[in-house]
A and B are shown apart, each in its own frame.
Chain A
């Protein structure tokens, strides 16, 4: 017999603390320079993966500006209350970029930064791919690609049913768009006119076996999403101003979901990882880590 009570299930009940003005003060806010934050996140990412000896640096580094913009400027969230009912939700559909999300959550204060170096170790809260039951602030267990958009649709539908004002953000990989379920979700989100849902594709152009265009062509990616009924915005995924503008614009789009195609560089910020498919799922060795950290000073 299994014991369901032994499984820690995050509670999202509406009885949780609500968004009254009194506790709005606890909503995460920072005036810190985003470039400085991004650099710190990148240092965490390469350090924790280097320490773990395995992990996915390429797709973690490419998404840093996207998540920095979201967590530091766009989303309403409370690190001290991860289950706050009115929080904006962030779903990491490309679950192999877990180190990137862990770095973000630690820097925001969901758990201590010192915990980052436990990544992938036995009994760590920081699993190799995200685990909703293990880590404060992680909304979905991912790692099997293609499911996050659908999961986000469920959250967006629930928010609308309950007239809650929260927004749902979901980050997909471009290679992930090979999965048929992504397009099932694309169709459904437009069908339900989910304007409280914003998806972002981390369009770094590479997947494990090589360039997207050689493995399985995605082009024209933007036109595909448009044809599925989405409002599509294309941005330089490393440009904070463009990202911020796109997220603000998405909030004003009515009657359809918004897709932000963020053109990024896989391995961004570490010269020998940039645009190298081999660093999709390979940790830097000791020497490489040293060089990487030097470049990220």
Chain B
């Protein structure tokens, strides 16, 4: 009996150790190199399946395992950085939002690709996208597709009422109000506008477009001045609060990211819609959209006396600094950003290419005649502040914008002042380093 007790206690002591030991990965025989690719849930999954199938066929020695993250850029960032912070081996290749390369580079998470992605190769891409991937002289990602805010509209409705495509925000409001009123008279309940106004990264993108197209700014890239309290900035925010939220747009836009806002548009419930270029493909796909063939696309409106401004977005492919399969990872990155894959993404998923040559591709231009014009928009698209501390700055901005547009009783100027203070404090950390 005694002996049994000692055996029992020994087992109990050793048990946790066994558990810990059990966590180690099985090192079975593997002939394939496994590449973990961290990506989000695609809007058009078929296109991605096709792309990965091609890669599989051509590279039988590499197996790609997709790790699907959240759709929201902010939530995706949280998940990915958590893995990278822990030097996870489950990440070899990952997608990066246009705002992350400075942070990922400074933190040592993204591998510098200077040698793999040489100067003459970079010249084949749109300049803005290369700049976005460069931080302190090193390049950390290869641009996959470019995004910039566009105005989508119901061509059929504008034609029905013989109204022009709005040039200024005020015109957009008037046009939307007119059409909504007239449609309502005919028993058709619709809204004037949807965009992205939830408290997340997309809110900063959307708000920037109003602010910059009114001569305001967030952070001046040359002087580093914070422009939240400027007249133009405040006016633009006030315009959004008083004329858009709960007015021509349903109050629910305060909870909308891209999918929710696009949903209303493709259900035929909205006249105007702000989104990234992929919305063109979705809204013209008869299987998903009730308004296929009735959609128009244009530059975003602006305020009188100013230029229209689109926020620069888009996604890059990066390689983790902690990967043990650099060669295979690069082969995959090279493939993903190649001309033919970008072409598939353009044709099947509506993603605007980052390679200049594709803007002369007859097949693409036939399907998307507006791409030729959009190239101009892409070349002038405005980047968000470039700093490794961008996520922290963005959180302050998200909070500030969300507060002032959802609560009309708040004094925008006062809120802007305290947000500026907070941003200053964050950016001070950066100067300390120098």
Q: Does B associate with A?
A: no
Q: What residues make up the interface of A, taking CB atoms closer than 8 Å to B?
A: none
